[in-house]
Amino acid sequence: MSGFEFSPLPVQRVIDPSLEAMPSEIREKYVTWNSSLDADFAEYWYLQAEHIALSQQHIAMTADEALRRAPSGSPRRALLLGAGNCYDTPIAALADAFDSVTLVDVDTQASERTLASLTGRQLGKISLIGADVSGTMGPLLSDIYRLSKEHASYADFAAALTPVVDELPIFGVQPDIGRDYTFVSSQLLMTQLAGLPVQEINVRVLQAKYGHGYRTPAPDAPDAALMKGLSALSHCLQVGHVDYLRRLIADTGTVHFADTSALLVDGKDAARHNLMEYDLVLPQFAARFDMLRDLEIWDWRQRPDRIFRVISLGFTPKPETKS
Ligand SMILES: C[S@@+](CC[C@H](N)C(=O)[O-])C[C@H]1O[C@@H](n2cnc3c(N)ncnc32)[C@H](O)[C@@H]1O
C-alpha cells in the first residue's frame, strides 16, 4: 500500500500503487461512469428495484453462509471488490455482522456517497482501498495512450500495440490487499475489467484519434493480430479474476460472484465485449470452487431501453487449490 488519503468520512482510505499507475484521465472516467449509474438509479429506481433486492439478497445469503462456516474466535472479515455506489450491496447489514468490511474500487468517492448514511458504529468497521483489482489497467492504458500519440496511422498504432497486449502479465500481478477473508464479493465487476481495453481502443483511440468507426474483429483486417490479442487478453483477465478470488478467500470462506452475461438495447443483442464469457468462466470457478447452490439468473432493467441479464453464484473454495 502506498499512501493514505483524506476521506470526508471517519474511515481509513488507502491508495494502492496499482491505482497510482492508472492514467488520471481513466480514473476520472470511472468516476463519471459511477455518477452516471447513480443518475440512472435516481431516475429509474422503480425499474431497478428487483435487481437491487435480488443482488442484496444473494450477497446476504452467501455472507451468512461464510459466518456459519467461520472458525469460532477468528476475525470475520468481508471484502467487497468493485463496491462502487454500493446500491446492490447490503452494506449496513454486512457492517453489523462482520468485524471489518473492506471496500475496493478505482473510484472510492462513489462508495463514500453511500457510506455517509451508515451509523458511526458501522463506519468504524469500514475501510476503503483505492486500487485497480486487475493490476494491469495502469500499464496497459498508459501504453495505449502513449502509442496513439506516437503513431500517425492506425495500422502503425495497431502493429506497435500488438506485442504489448500479447506480453502483458495477468496472473499474480493483482494488488496485495490481504488474504484469508471470510467473505469476498465480486459484484458486476469482472466484465468491466475485461471490456475496458477494447472499449478504450474503440472510443478514445479509433474514433477520437484515427476517425474510424467501431471495430469488430475480422480475420483479414490489418489489425487482425491486435484484435486476436485483445480477445485473448479479455479471456485472461476473466480467468485471472477468478484466480484472484481464490487467493483472497480463506479455505473456510465463501465468495459471492455476479456478472452480466447478455445485454439487450432496444430489444436487440448489444456489444459482446463487455459481457461475461459464461462458458469460459464457469469451468474456471469449477476448478477452484464448489457451488453453494444453483446459479440464479435475473434481468436488471437499468433503463427503459437497457436490460442486462445477471448471473449470480455463491461458492466455497476447494481447499487443495490454495496457491
Ligand atoms: C457496475 S459497478 C458494480 C455495482 C456497484 N456495486 C454499485 O452498486 O454501484 C462496477 C464497479 O467496479 C469498479 N471497477 C471497474 N474496474 C475496476 C478495477 N480494475 N479495479 C477496481 N474497481 C473497478 C467500478 O469503478 C465500479 O464501481
Q: pLDDT tens digits, residue range 225-277? A: 888 898 899 899 999 999 999 999 999 999 999 999 877 777 666 666 567 78
Closest of 193, 184, 291 to residue 246, by C-alpha: 184
Judged by DSSP in three states, 303 sits in: strand
Tell whether the torsion through CA atoms of 22, 183, 2 and 176 is positive or negative.
Answer: negative
At 11 the pLDDT is 85
CB atoms within 10 A of CB 30: 22
Render pLDDT for 36-80 as a digit per residue (tens, 0 to 9).
Answer: 999 999 999 999 999 999 999 999 999 999 999 999 999 999 999
For residue 125, give the 3-state DSSP assignment.
coil
28 CA from centroid of ligand 1 (Å): 13
pLDDT value of position 270: 66
Look at residue 204 and tell me whether its pLDDT is greater than 70: yes
Distances (CA, A) of 165 to 174, 243, 249, 295: 17, 20, 29, 33
Q: What is the mean pLDDT of the chain?
A: 89
What's the rounded Cα separation, in Å, for the pair 22 and 202?
19
Cross-strand pairs, 77: 100
All structural domains of the chain with their residue ranges: 3-321
Burial (CB < 10 A; 0-12, 13-18, 19+), residue 115, is buried
**Mean pLDDT within 147-166:** 91
pLDDT of residue 6: 56
Spatial separation of the C-alpha atoms in residues 159 and 140, rounded to whole Å: 15
Please give the Cα distance from 253 to 317 (Å, whole number): 7
Best residue among 102, 192, 241, 310 to mutate for probing ligand 1, ranked by most atoms within 8 Å of CB: 192
Could you tell me the sign of the dihedral formed by the alpha carbons of 233, 237, 238, 242, in that order? positive
Query: Which of 54, 105, 184 maximizes ligand 1 atoms within 8 Å of its Cβ, making it the mutation to test the pocket?
Result: 105
User: pLDDT value at position 105?
Assistant: 97
Q: Determine the 3-state secondary structure of 238 from DSSP.
A: helix
Beta bridge mates, 313: 257
Please give the residue that has the higher pLDDT: either 220 or 240.
Answer: 240
- Band the pLDDT of 220: cuts 50, 70, 90: low
Residue 322 has pLDDT above 80, yes or no: no
Distances (CA, A) of 221 to 204, 208, 215: 20, 20, 10
Q: Select from 273, 262, 245 the least CA-distant residue to 297.
A: 262
3-state secondary structure of 217: coil
Beta strand 306-317 with 289-291: parallel, antiparallel or unpaired? antiparallel
pLDDT of 34 reads 93
Between vectors from CA 95 to CA 93 and to CA 99, what angle results, nearest 5°?
A: 130
Please state which CATH number belongs to domain 3-321. 3.40.50.150
Q: Rounded to whole angstroms, how far apart are CA atoms 179 and 309?
A: 31
CA of 105 from ligand 1 middle (Å) equals: 6
What separation, in Å, do the N-terminal and C-terminal C-alpha atoms of the chain show? 22
Q: Residue 292: pLDDT band by 50, 70, 90 thresholds?
A: very high
Q: Which of 179-183, 206-210, 300-304: highest mean pLDDT?
A: 179-183
Rg for the chain (alpha carbons), in Å? 20
* pLDDT score for 321: 78
Residues in the ligand 1 pocket, defined by CB under 6 Å:
30, 34, 37, 82-89, 105-107, 110, 131-134, 137, 187-189, 192-193
Residue nearest to atom 3 of ligand 1 (CA): 188
Cell 483479414 belongs to 220
